[in-house]
Amino acid sequence: MLPLLTALVLGPTSASAQEDPEIPFEKYELDNGLDVILAQDTSTPIVYVSVWYHVGSKDETEGLTGFAHLFEHLMFQGSLSVEGEYFEPLQKVGASINGTTSFDRTNYFEGVPARHLPLALFMESDRMGSLLPALDQAKLDEQRDVVKNERRQRYENPPYGEAYKDMMAALYPEGHPYHHVPIGSHEDLTAASLDDVKTFFSTWYVPNNASLVISGDFDPMVAKRLVKENFGGIPRGPDPVRREVQTASLSADKVIRQYDEVPEQRVWMAWHSPSFYAPGDADLDILSSLLSDGKESRLYQRLVKEKKLARSINASQQSGLYGSRYVIQASAAPGHSTDEVVAEVMAVLEELQADAAPTTAEVESARAGFERHFFENLQTIQGKGETLQSYNMFQGDPGYMKNDLARYRAVSPDTVKTWAGKVLSTPHVELHIWPEADKPEGGE
């Protein structure tokens, strides 16, 4: 499940959907297509402003990768009315500011003292409406180098840094939106022209492809006036055309072995799984919990405690718009190999689908853990704001909370077993990364 795909609720976890209190919000649309969502909370004098653009690395084309993430940097380099670093005016008033990029969306946000809502809205609207006139070759060159350096620091230099990139490339075919990760490639970043970058912005960073959330301590009437003044004059852009994406699948298992300067053997196992919010998505989240959350979970018990084959192990349903990944990652214990780990993982999964089906107690415990995180996320106005954004963008309804909770409350031992069988019996990717010293003589 993707981070922040939770609901707007407060209070203790409840066993009944009827007992879940809701936080009111108001959604409306400007003439230029911008979605606006207001969620007033006067419990603390802070206001959170968030803008999500429905663009991520999935929307990039071959030879032009890394653009969504590149704009995460360029959007902080000043706009027509605000020269210099975007951070400076907001940091002067104590703002917390950032942005993130994923396969499926890009977001920008700032939390400010409530009285500085006008500044936050002006800053966000100015970079939406007038970033391009201020974007020049020097800024592009500077931020391109920053992104390349980030790629080296996050992916190329750390041990196992390129594992996720290589896993995704193996799991999805060339041309699929998830074949490449958001950071892009050095080659594409180097080749990007100023015109290429401006075209990408003009296509995707338009009000009719964005949503604005204001959560926290504000007067709704004042907020509406400020939103109209700041965003209402930004022209609507052409509606972005999204590609048609075929469901990805594997015809056979893929086993990849790499040797590198790493301290221990690790393995990633990945299967194609249902898209987020699709049938099976919630069931696989619950499966992940009973497999690897806590020392009583099945994989931890078998591989770490009993057989001592693994030093650590984790299972997760990594949900996405165009399909998800069910991933099991493990580090082999000293004296053991990832091949042994994989064999034992497969044995546990086969037992789960046969005579050792999930128990009611396991499912209830996993669901309780999910609901605890579900509600904890909503203890800040940022958590509430980002939750509204996620539901709005991917379900078209900021108030999707009841439906989301209902997915998890409908999970049973039988549905977990069914979806484990549907997903984990299909071909998968195995990526083994071993220390150079473990490479067999003569190589492989």
Query: Do 372 and 303 lie in a common domain?
Result: yes
Query: Do 191 and 289 lie in a common domain?
Result: no
- Domain harbouring 106, CATH code: 3.30.830.10
Query: Do 260 and 294 lie in a common domain?
Result: yes
| Residue 270 tokens, joined | 């990945």
Domain-located, residue 408: yes
- pLDDT tens sequence across 331-342: 999 999 999 999
Helix, strand, or coil (residue 403): helix
Domain-located, residue 4: no
Query: Do 285 and 138 lie in a common domain?
Result: no
Query: Do 266 and 226 lie in a common domain?
Result: no
Query: Do 289 and 226 lie in a common domain?
Result: no
Domain-located, residue 155: yes
Quote the number of domains for the chain. 2
Query: Do 306 and 432 lie in a common domain?
Result: yes
Helix, strand, or coil (residue 435): strand
Query: Do 85 and 148 lie in a common domain?
Result: yes
Domain-located, residue 208: yes
Domain-located, residue 2: no
* DSSP string across 68-124: HHHHHHHTTS--SSS-S-THHHHHTTT-EEEEEE-SS-EEEEEEEEGGGHHHHHHHH
Strand partners, 310: 332
Query: Do 37 and 155 lie in a common domain?
Result: yes
Domain-located, residue 50: yes
Final residue in a domain of this structure, among 199, 231, 263 = 231
3-state helix vs strand vs coil in the chain, percent to 5:
45, 20, 40
Query: Do 186 and 129 lie in a common domain?
Result: yes
Its domain, for residue 258, covers 254-438
pLDDT for the residue 379:
87
Final residue in a domain of this structure, among 198, 231, 264 = 231
Eight-class DSSP state of 239: P
Domain-located, residue 19: no
Query: Do 195 and 138 lie in a common domain?
Result: yes
Domain-located, residue 375: yes
Q: Show the low-confidence residues of the chain (pLDDT under 50).
A: 1-18
Query: Do 308 and 428 lie in a common domain?
Result: yes
